[in-house]
């Protein structure tokens, strides 16, 4: 596995993102919504950098089979909290075509939150098919298939401490 982003670099960047969110949400009580399964590692680390009052929830989404985006998005687990009139920060592992994010944002908007911001660890800017607003980006990366730090290939490699490029077995 080729390492694309080292463990130390992830740690450093997650701290920086935490600082930004602490500043932007001073005096507020946002709900962080982690998109499962990929974002759970990032969310767990980011959460511990936050000094503001926060709540967390999870949304289970399935949009990939293998290494290709199908464009078909499915909710596999709904939120448990009511987000009406709440500030929501959606936590994603990676934004690729943007289709998943577009679907999620449209879905969340129907529940009338006060605001929605998106925080993604990784951004494949050049792969974007639909335009989606992203407030916080950890790293911009090229169009390669990556695994580790929560991201998977067929549910494997989520346990890696770094982000690696997956070339197949």
**18 vs 34, which CB is nearer to Mg ion?**
34
**38 vs 148, which CB is nearer to Mg ion?**
38
Q: What is the CA angle 15-161-36, rounded to 5?
A: 80
Catalytic residue (choose from 9, 45, 96, 152): 96
**24 vs 145, which CB is nearer to Mg ion?**
145
Q: Cα–Cα distance between 146 and 167 in angstroms, integer? A: 9
95 interacts with, out of Mg ion, ligand IMP, none, CB within 5 to 8 A per kind: ligand IMP
Tokens of 23: 């500043």
**Whether the Cβ atoms of residue 83 and residue 32 lie closer than 8 Å to each other:** no
Give residues in contact with ligand IMP (CB under 6 A). Answer: 38, 63-64, 69, 92-101, 145-147, 151
User: What residues form DSSP beta bridges with 5?
Assistant: 163
State yes or no: is 9 an active-site residue. Answer: no
Tokens of 8: 């130390």
Active-site residue set: 96
């Amino acid at each position: 596995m080729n390492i694309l982003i080292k463990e130390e670099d992830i740690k450093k960047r997650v701290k920086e993102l935490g600082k930004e969110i602490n500043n932007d949400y001073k005096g507020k009580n946002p709900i962080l919504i982690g998109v499962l399964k990929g974002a759970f590692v990032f969310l767990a680390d980011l959460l511990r950098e936050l000094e503001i009052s926060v709540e967390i929830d999870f949304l289970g989404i399935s949009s990939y089979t293998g290494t290709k985006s199908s464009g078909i998005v499915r909710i596999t687990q709904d939120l448990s909290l009511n987000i009406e009139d709440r500030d929501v920060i959606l936590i994603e592992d990676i934004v690729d075509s943007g289709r998943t994010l577009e679907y999620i944002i449209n879905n969340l908007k129907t529940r009338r939150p006060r605001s929605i911001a998106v925080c993604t660890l990784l951004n494949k800017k050049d792969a974007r098919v639909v335009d989606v607003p992203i407030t916080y980006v950890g790293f911009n990366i090229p169009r390669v298939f990556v695994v580790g730090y929560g991201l998977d290939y067929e549910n494997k490699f989520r346990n890696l401490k770094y982000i690696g490029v997956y070339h197949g077995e």
